[in-house]
Amino acid sequence: MQSNQNRSTHFYNLTYQEQIDTVWRQGKPLQTRRIPDFWIHLYAVDALFVELWICQRHFDVMVLRVLSTTNELEPYLQLIQLSLHELLP
């Protein structure tokens, strides 16, 4: 079994299109947020958190962004807490 480090390195070595395909096939959707002109989908892919920025007009992936620090997850934390709150008794 590959370590998380090896899987992360493997992901970074893929082409842009292969990275997008990997996110679609293997990624676990975690959250979606909206900003003007984009839907931003957060996925977990192995040990990585990856954002796909989807153009609202053309429905194309415009940006694939690997979050490299926990601070970059900040926009999602409140949304995740709200979702957990709805699940708790």
pLDDT tens track for 58-76: 999 999 999 988 888 888 8
The set of residues, in sequence order, having a beta carbon less than 8 Å from that of 77 and lying 6+ positions away, is none
C-alpha closest to that of 66 among 34, 22, 25:
22
Please give the DSSP secondary-structure letter assigned to residue 56.
T
The pTM assigned to this predicted structure is 0.77
Rounded Cα distance between 13 and 51, Å, is 17
Domain spanning 4-87: CATH 4.10.800: no
Please tell me which residue, 24 or 3, carries the higher pLDDT value.
Answer: 24
Tell me the C-alpha distance between 69 and 85, whole Å.
25
64 in Cβ contact with 54 (< 8 Å): no
Task: Evaluate if residue 31 carries a pLDDT over 80.
Answer: yes
Question: What one-character DSSP code corresponds to residue 89?
Answer: -
Mean pLDDT of the chain: 84
